[in-house]
Amino acid sequence: MMVRALSADWLKIRGKGIWFLAALGPIGLVAMQGLNFGLRYDYLMKSYADDPWGGLLENVLFFVPIALFLGITLVCSLMANVEHQLSSWKQLLALPISRTAVFSAKFVQAFLILCVSCILLTLGTAGLGLLLGMGVEQMPYLDLLRIGFVQLFAALPMLALQLWLSLTLKNQGLPVSIGITASVVSMFAFQFPNWMPLKWPLLAYMGPGEAKVIGAGLLLGVVIACAGLIHFNRKDVD
């Protein structure tokens, strides 16, 4: 059932700019670092002389949470808007499909779209490193993969929350404001205590306790998604 809903959902988001957005995030991050390294090439390469790849990743790293939170907010809102715009909920939910399947399909769809962004970030960062003349032999494959995905897992609570709010509120003002606020605040996440979910994406990559943070992200994400699901199931559709 969920797979059917998901297959319909892929069709619905065609031409809605969601894929464009999913690509814009990682490409923007990489382009920014391209500019950064391009302008200060000699200086930066000298300061990261013993580990240029590590230097590049570190520079990318600090912008990933804000991009991720913004991406989550906008993807969820755009996806929900496809249904809100012309009140398609009443048609969709009167079809022989459970609300659980509809909600899960949206969750999976948002997650997969963000995964594509993460892959693009990995590829883009690798490409930029090579372009800047960093050695193929030293390329840190694992860290390049981790930089997007690990943070995505740690940001799952945010994804669950944004999806819940976007799907159940017709007025997207609230979820979008919350999302943007969270993104901006997350720029200062480094100074937060470790229990703050906004700090988790950074912790999940840099530690301490990477595995534990990812576990916490998954757990809290599932808890929030379940709460959203229960609400979505009981909600009256107007």
Partner 1 sequence: MTELVIQTKGLYKTYKKRAAVEDLNLEIARGDIYGFLGPNGAGKTTTIRMLLGLIQPTRGAIHLFGKDLKSEKMDILRRTGSLVEYPSYYGHLTAVENLEAIRRITGSPKSRIAEVLEIVSLTKEAKRPVKGYSLGMKQRLGIAAALLNNPELLILDEPTNGLDPSGIHEIRELIKNMPRQYGITVLVSSHLLGEVEQMADKVGIIREGRMVFQDSIDNLIRTASSGFRLAVSEPEDALQLALDLGCEGTLRNHVLELESMQDAKVALLVKRLVENRHAVYRVEEKRKSLEDIFMQIVGEGSRP
- Name which of 49 and 94 has its Cβ closer to partner 1: 94
Q: Which is nearer to partner 1, 18 or 70 (CB)?
A: 18
- The DSSP result for the chain, as a single string, is -HHHHHHHHHHHTTTSSHHHHHHHHHHHHHHHHHHHHHHTHHHHHHHTTT-HHHHHHHHHHTTHHHHHHHHHHHHHHHHHHHHHTTTTHHHHTTSSS-HHHHHHHHHHHHHHHHHHHHHHHHHHHHHHHHHTT--STT--HHHHHHHHHHHHHHTHHHHHHHHHHHHH-S-THHHHHHHHHHHHHGGGGGGS-TT-GGGHHHHHHH-SSHHHHHHHHHHHHHHHHHHHHHHHHHPPP-
State which of residues 28, 47, 51, 91 lies at the interface with partner 1 (CB under 8 A).
91
Min CB(106)–partner 1 separation in Å: 13
Compute the least distance from the CB of residue 94 to partner 1, in Å. 4
| Stretch 219-238: interaction string toward partner 1, x if CB under 8 A | ---------------x-xxx
**Under the criterion CB under 8 A, does residue 181 sit at the interface with partner 1?**
no
Give 15 or 173: the residue with its C-beta nearer to partner 1: 15
- In this chain, which of 35, 40, 62, 88 binds partner 1, going by CB under 8 A? 88
Binding site for partner 1 (CB under 8 A): 4-5, 7-8, 11-12, 14-16, 82, 85-98, 234, 236-238
